[in-house]
């Protein structure tokens, strides 16, 4: 977990692709505590959408 913008700064510093940011919101906390991925328990949440976007980038990169 980075401060606002910290992940992007670190990616730039190490010359690697920045995959995205995941907002920390109540849905992600509740899902984690319950052992259920937020993409399943709250698929319309900002956190779930961010994870999906990051997953798409990873899949495109690794083929």
- How far is residue 10's CA from residue 60's CA, in Å, rounded to a whole number? 21
pTM here is 0.80
CA 16 to chain centroid, in Å, comes to: 16
Give the integer Cα–Cα distance in Å for 32 and 9.
27
**38, 44 Cβ separation under 8 angstroms:** no
> What digits encode the pLDDT tens for the residues 28-55?
888 889 999 999 999 999 999 999 999 9
Structure tokens at 31: 């899902």
**Helices 26-34, 46-62: inter-axial angle, 10-degree rounding:** 70
Q: Would the pLDDT of 63 be above 90?
A: no
């Amino acid at each position: 977990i980075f401060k606002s913008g910290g992940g992007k700064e670190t990616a730039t510093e190490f010359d690697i692709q920045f995959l995205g940011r995941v907002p920390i919101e109540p849905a992600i906390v509740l899902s984690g505590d319950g052992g259920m991925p937020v993409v399943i328990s709250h698929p319309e949440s900002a956190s779930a959408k961010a994870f999906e976007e990051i997953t798409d980038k990873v899949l495109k990169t690794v083929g």
